[in-house]
Each structure stands twice: as structure tokens, then as C-alpha cells.
Structure 1
């Protein structure tokens, strides 16, 4: 998304550009403490370790799968419909978003969507969708296949800004652990304070993953990523003798840049900013929905992670991908605002702005959106 004042930002924002440029002499070693303090959740810092520092998120997710397979000795990977985890072959086989053939060891669980999914009652959808995962685990077990891992974006971005229903991950994690598998949280798109209330998306579900993967937001767009796990899992992986190395992994320039980003997030209170301005944006979009009830089917999100589901009719909830595409096209051509459409039906307008996105930007965005809906017949 472009700021009205003409500043083009990557995901974490460019409000402290000088800090990000002046990192060449930084050691980068402090990034371990900076990130594990945030990941630890209900574990102590000593119980959480940054296992590998890498170049891109696809490599991070690929390594997470390798760790899970090696440590558990199992083969089956559970992913979720509409997911996207990267562009390596191992990840494309778990990314139904890309419409690529699933791998021989890929198991696809239903997307826990309470708006247009199988279960729509938010009070019990979490357990019902988790039950679908349990059925898949039981089916695999009956075929003498063992679960290596369950991998999921903590909030579904490419699947259409889907917020998992309450209790979903708590139940799924239990089922996976009972089956001998590990749980991987893909925080590449939603971590580092974007959800506002918490630093990590998985905290919204009150769970602690076995492995967390992170990516480019850690470097403000600079190519850096990481795999975080516990000392126990890291040790078990190491003792197997499986070799892993990366030419650029842990290089001091990338580590220093990542440390500078963490400093900016903390010093400029970007997490709190995402929380307060995100609430304002969400409330304003709900008001927009009330004004245009026919075509805005759902408004959902948290912090700077919000989705606007466009439908042909709010009662039938039939997706309207054409109108959604026309809206974002007009936003770009007439208002110079870059947005995107995603979701399993390509009808969800995504709001995932840079962390430096301010109220002036939000008001301009809302003004432009209202103009687009006012003129939708002419688009």
C-alpha cells in the first residue's frame, strides 16, 4: 500500500530508515535474545532457542519440515486448505493456494472459515473444525501412516484473511501431539506485532508451537528468515547427524538489520500502534459495511490484518470476485492506492499495510474505498 505522502514502505515500515542503513557495524548476535523474548510466551527464555538463521522464509519452512520429519521419524504433513508456505517443491506440495498437486505425504484439512465454510457457528466451529483434523489423523493411522507435523499460518493470509475460531489450535495441537507429531506456526506474514494485541499470531489461540518460522518482516523486506524451536527439539535434530548448512545463514549484515527492525518496533511502539489504529480501521470498515450491506459480506480481522469479503448478495454469501477486482483496480488507477484480492474465491480485499501506516493514511484509504463503492456501477 502506498502512503498518501508518497512513501513506499515494506511490511514493517520505513519510519526509521537511518537506523536500518546504519547497521553495517552491528554484530547481530543480540537478535537471538530479542526474538526469543517474544516467542517464549509461557516458556522461559532458556526453553526457547533460535535454531537457524536463514535467508528466505521458504527455506525456513523447508527446514521446519526437515526437523519435524527427522525428530519424529514420521512422514505425513498436515496442512490447511488455501494455505501458502513458500515456493520450494516441498512447500508447494503443502500450499493448495497455488493449485499445485499435493505431495504423497500431504494431508489437507478444511479451512476453518466461519463465514463461508462448513461450520459457521463461532461458538462451536473451533472444535468442529479441529475434529476434522482428528478424522484425518485417524484415517492416516488406520493406513499405517504416522503424522510428522501440522503446519499452519497462525492467521490465513492468502486464504482470505481468515481468523481461526476460538479453541481451534488448542484442540488441533493436542490431537497432533497425541499422534506423535510436531506443530509448526508459520508467522512469516503475521508475526512481529502485526496482530496488535500480541507479538505473535499464535498467541491469539493461547498455544505454544513446537516450531515457529519467520521471514522478511524481520528485516523490513531485507532477505532474512529464521526457524525457532526448543533446545530439546534442536538437540534431538542435531544428534541424528543430519547435516544442514547455509552459505548466507546468520551473516552479520542480515542479523544487524533484523536487530535494528526489532529496535524500531519496540522504540516506536509499532505493535501498540497496530492495535489501536487497527481497531479504528476495523470499526470504520464495519460502518462502511452498514452503508453498503449488499456487497460487503464480512469484515474481519485484528490489528493490521483485516479482510473485506465481497459478495453478490449478503444473504446468499455468493462470492463476487469480479467486483472485488474492479474495486482494487479503481483504487490503484484513480487513487494510487495499492491493494490486493485473495482468498479461495478471490473475493477478499486484503488490508495488511506497513506498520508505519498512520491515521491520515487510514482516513484516505476509507475515503477512496467509499468512492469506489459509490461508483461501482461505473467501474
Structure 2
């Protein structure tokens, strides 16, 4: 901290006095941002930082069309879903149209955590069962019930008594989708057998369709479909967590589950749908909502409010009209090829993988080949010093996580790759 300028030291001291200590700052050298535009953030000295990490402002920071839509709606009406408005109906029709016809109902919440919490409640009430399967380092949210299903939060956040873990898939690009599907299905079958041996029944499997916190497992696309009938036969529902994977991020499809060729029972999404505003949703096959809707009063005051829906509508406009799904595919290919080339040159970086504008690479000790969180942190810090924002993830915290806004261009990609090259050359 002594190396920081006095202004930042003062801010950090004030923060320590005011903010709960569980809320951590990014980076060894924290950075103060004062404004943002597109994929660029600006610090208090006017320095530009390339954002290769933040997926929540999905169509770019302060996108003028989102800003205009929200301001116009706020100046007209901002109210909740208990009143009749065209806003919620129009957006619901558009959102459901991006999903298969079987997914025909939507319910709103304010965050991905709330959406997963609601989906869990629906699944448990619809099935009458309690047990839930998640992957070994999953993150699905921070409510009390969902933190019990988020092993990535660490040993001080206990798993719930009805939480059952399976290994994250160890899949590779170009791998055999049948073999990968068989392996994942076998893990699910084993978990179900364990659940039933304990006298419990399966309510759901909750799966991030890109396995973001598990270190990213995008390929081979299609392997997830093999487990769906096993879950249904055991009496459970399939919940696709699309908070990080959805809204065209993978490039080849709008939703991560579509890459795998199956239709979930419930789909959850989070704040990227409103470019960072507090809106989220659960899209469902309507039959699963009938009992819940008959017996349970669900009301969330801020959920689906008019201003957030205006932002969400603008996000869909931008994705469609600016060709952002195609952009993710095209620019993601540049990023993947460039990172793969760097991995061939620097033994510190291995196992590059990605889907569209979500990419990852394992950082290892070049002498031993072992996972190395300290070296991963050094890469993240080195990029931050060169004004590039990324993070690290995975069970060993050694996976470089690259997940920029969807408006990232080929020029941004080349700049990122050039700076990453310099950092890797310096470290290893």
C-alpha cells in the first residue's frame, strides 16, 4: 500500500473504515475508475484501461442506446410487474422468442443469485424433492440457499446437506463428444445413486453451461445433452445457469445450452441482460410453474421494473442490430488463435480454450507443469500494470479468465494479445 499514491491510500483507508471486509478490491494495486465507455475504463488520471474481464456491461460500458432507453423510461414511468404495462409484455415476448417454444414462461428477479434461488424453489416445489447436483467448483450465487450450492466460495461457506458434487468435465476442443457426454452422464448417475442411498430424491441439476468457475469447459459442444434423460428419470429438473454463458457470449448460439443441443426445464440469467442494471430472469417450461404458481405467492418489488426492462430491451436491440453474436464468434476466434500461439511459445501458459468471447488458459509452473496460483496472479497483475483487466478462476485459482464485453473488436484483441505476450515474456 505504501507504493500507492496518497490519494489512493486515503481512499483505501476510508473504504476499510466504511465497507464490510468481505468485499475485496481487485488487484494488488487497486485502481480508481471515474468513467467508462465501450470496452475502456478511465482512471482518475485519465489513463485508459482495456476491459477484458467484465461481462455484466455486456454491450459495453455506458452504451448510449442503453443510457437513452433508461433515461426515457425513467422520465415516463418506472413501476413493478403487479401493474399492467406493455413494457413487460413486449420484452417477455422478445426474450422468450430467443428460446425454444417449450420454454414459454418467464419470471423476473434482480440478480443471477435471485434467479438461481427462484429456480431452485420452483424445482423443489415442482418435484417435491430436495437434492441438487452441482459441479465441484461451481459458483451460482450468494443467497443463503444458493451459496450452499456454490463450492467455489470456499470451505468457510459450508455446502448444504442436500448438495451433491460431481467433477467438472475435463474436455478439450476437438474431443469426442460421445465420450465426453458418456463421462459426464456417468458422474451424474453416480451422484443420483449416492442421493438415493441416503434416502433422498433429486430435485435438480444446476449447471453453468460454460463451467465458468470450474475453469471453463466449452468443448466439445454437445456433451451435456447426454445427462438430461438421466436427471428426468430420477425425478429431477435440469436448470441451465446462463448468467455468464448467455446473451450470445459463445458466438455460435444465443444460449450456452443451445450449443449442447438440449432443452432445459428452467433457464436462469443475470445482470448482463440489462447491461449491469439489476434485472434477471427465470425462463421455464410452463408445466413446471403450475403447482408453484397455484400455491406460492412470489413478488419481488424491483424485479422487472420498467427502467430495467428498457435497458434489457436495448441490449437485445444492440445484440441483434450490431451483429454481436457474429462478432463474438469472429473476435473470439482471433483471441483463441492468438492465445494458443502464445501458449506454444511460453511454457507458463497451457490448455487454452474458449467459446466466443469467453476464454481461459491454465497458468503453470514451467519447471514442474503444476498449477500455480501465484504465477496466475502475477500474470493478472502484470496485465493490470499494462492497463489490461482480466482475472483468474478455477479450483486452483490458476486459470486466466478473459471475458470482455461483447463489443470487443479485432483491434482490441490484437492489443490484448500483444500486451499478454509482453507479460508472459517478463514472467516466464
User: TM-score, normalising length from structure 1?
Assistant: 0.90
For 1:82 and 1:121, the matched residues in 2 are separated by 24
In the other structure, the counterpart of 1:220 is 275
Question: 1:17-96 residue pairs with structure 2 within 5 A?
Answer: 17-24=63-70, 25=72, 27-40=87-100, 44=101, 47-96=102-151
For 1:148 and 1:65, the matched residues in 2 are separated by 8
For 2:318 and 2:221, the matched residues in 1 are separated by 31
For 2:179 and 2:130, the matched residues in 1 are separated by 31
For 1:347 and 1:175, the matched residues in 2 are separated by 33
Per-residue CA deviation, residues 194-223 of structure 1 (Å, 9 max, x unaligned), is 000000011111111000000111011111
1:171 aligns with 2:223: no
- DSSP 3-state at the match of 2:359: strand
For 2:201 and 2:341, the matched residues in 1 are separated by 48
Q: How far is the alpha carbon of 1:247 from its aligned partner? A: 1.1
In the other structure, the counterpart of 1:129 is 184
- Structure 1: gaps of 5 or more residues: none
- DSSP 3-state at the match of 2:352: strand
1:298 aligns with 2:342: no
1:363 aligns with 2:414: yes
- Structure 2: gaps of 5 or more residues: 1-38, 42-46, 74-86
Judge conservation of contact 1:112–1:165 (CA < 8 Å) in 2.
no
How much is the aligned-residue C-alpha RMSD, in angstroms? 2.1
In the other structure, the counterpart of 2:199 is 144
- DSSP 3-state at the match of 1:226: strand
Deviates more, 1:213-222 or 1:27-36: 27-36
For 2:243 and 2:221, the matched residues in 1 are separated by 21
In the other structure, the counterpart of 1:327 is 379
Judge conservation of contact 2:358–2:402 (CA < 8 Å) in 1.
yes
For 1:281 and 1:221, the matched residues in 2 are separated by 24
Q: Structure 2 residue aligned with 1:287, among 325, 341, 351?
A: 341
In the other structure, the counterpart of 1:271 is 325
User: TM-score, normalising length from structure 2?
Assistant: 0.80
Per-residue CA deviation, residues 210-253 of structure 1 (Å, 9 max, x unaligned), is 000001110111111000001211223213x1221111122111
In the other structure, the counterpart of 1:337 is 388
For 1:227 and 1:289, the matched residues in 2 are separated by 38
1:106 aligns with 2:152: no
- DSSP 3-state at the match of 2:89: coil
- DSSP 3-state at the match of 2:134: strand
Q: How far is the alpha carbon of 1:71 from its aligned partner? A: 0.5
For 1:372 and 1:194, the matched residues in 2 are separated by 26
Q: How far is the alpha carbon of 1:15 from its aligned partner? A: 7.3
Per-residue CA deviation, residues 138-158 of structure 1 (Å, 9 max, x unaligned), is 222233211000001001112
Q: Specify whether residues 367 and 192 from structure 1 end up closer, same or farther in structure 2 by C-alpha distance, changes over 3 A only.
A: same
Judge conservation of contact 1:305–1:352 (CA < 8 Å) in 2.
yes
Judge conservation of contact 2:383–2:390 (CA < 8 Å) in 1.
yes
Judge conservation of contact 1:127–1:167 (CA < 8 Å) in 2.
no
Q: How far is the alpha carbon of 1:168 from its aligned partner? A: 3.4
Q: How far is the alpha carbon of 1:93 from its aligned partner? A: 0.6
For 1:7 and 1:181, the matched residues in 2 are separated by 43
For 1:225 and 1:2, the matched residues in 2 are separated by 25
Judge conservation of contact 1:50–1:226 (CA < 8 Å) in 2.
no
- DSSP 3-state at the match of 1:65: helix
Q: Structure 1 residue aligned with 2:252, among 188, 191, 197?
A: 197
- DSSP 3-state at the match of 1:227: strand
How many residues get paired?
A: 364
Judge conservation of contact 1:297–1:313 (CA < 8 Å) in 2.
no
Q: Specify whether residues 7 and 300 from structure 1 end up closer, same or farther in structure 2 by C-alpha distance, changes over 3 A only.
A: closer
For 2:322 and 2:216, the matched residues in 1 are separated by 26
Q: How far is the alpha carbon of 1:92 from its aligned partner? A: 0.8
For 2:94 and 2:296, the matched residues in 1 are separated by 28
Judge conservation of contact 1:339–1:350 (CA < 8 Å) in 2.
yes
